[in-house]
Amino acid sequence: MRDDLGADVPLSAPAARVVSLVPSLTEAIATSAPGLLVGATDWCTHPGDLDVARVRGTKNPDLAAIRALSPDLVVANQEENRELDVRRLREAGTAVWVTRIETVEESLASMSRLFATALGLADPPWLVEARSLWSQPVAPRLSVAVPIWRDPWMVVGSPTYTDDLLTRAGLVNVLAGRDGRYPALTPEDIDRAGADVVLLPDEPYVFTADDGPEAFTTPTRLVSGRLLTWYGPAMVEAHAVLANLHA
């Protein structure tokens, strides 16, 4: 059994006790098979009634607390979690499955394989629906820029899951060609890029009506960061919002 990075995952049977270090995977597993989850990070906010042990953050998980939960499997992500923490868990004898996701297609395939191979489950209904909704990109209709942080300002570039999601929804990321997956730019740089609208998500930086829009001359719109960055059940909601987004 191998994860998305080709690493061995020593499971002799489908995992029955899972700790998730990725908010989107937490939601995916909790929505589909809630009895499997025994632990999640403090940032795992969905579903809203999630009642499991908390193991601190995605970048600073409490490894001792994770081991104390005796999980069959810990699920992690290459971008969201540190390789050091993954290595230490494995060295302590804990099986870890690491996902690697940079496109919508990869997200669907990765979650399907995780469910089938590591959890022994068929694709849940939301995954079947998400695959159908996102199967074909639509024609470009609106250009956007997506800051994700300020001081310093950083934006969504490519290759990233968010950039691919936007493209498939007909939203052209005007900053996709800049150097780096998350380029550092000034608000003036972002304005000069010529987007129809600047999308301001509420994570990882919490942009609000009073914190973000004032930096731009380009029209702005507040959006849910979960819909832009979370693969899992959020993908169904994301399609309903992004495919109908207009200036």
CATH 3.30.70.260 fits 18-132, yes or no: no
pLDDT at 34: 87
Cis peptide before 124 (omega within 30 of 0): no
The C-alpha atoms of residue 175 and residue 139 are separated, in whole angstroms, by 18
**pLDDT of res. 68:** 98
Nearest 5 degrees, angle CA 67-CA 61-CA 52? 65
pLDDT of residue 170: 96
Q: What is the mean pLDDT of each run of 10 residues along the chain (247 residues)?
A: 96 97 98 96 96 97 98 97 98 98 96 97 97 91 97 96 96 95 97 98 97 98 97 96 88
* 226: enclosing H helix or E strand: helix 225-229
Q: pTM for the complete prediction?
A: 0.93
The torsion angles phi and psi of 15, rounded to 5 degrees, stand at -65, 135
DSSP, res 175: T
For CATH 3.40.50.1980, list the domain ranges present in the chain: 18-132, 142-242
Per-residue pLDDT tens digits for 130-152: 999 999 878 999 999 999 999 99
**Which overall architecture, per CATH, does domain 142-242 show?**
3-Layer(aba) Sandwich (3.40)
In angstroms, the CA 242 to CA 32 distance is 24
pLDDT score of 115: 98
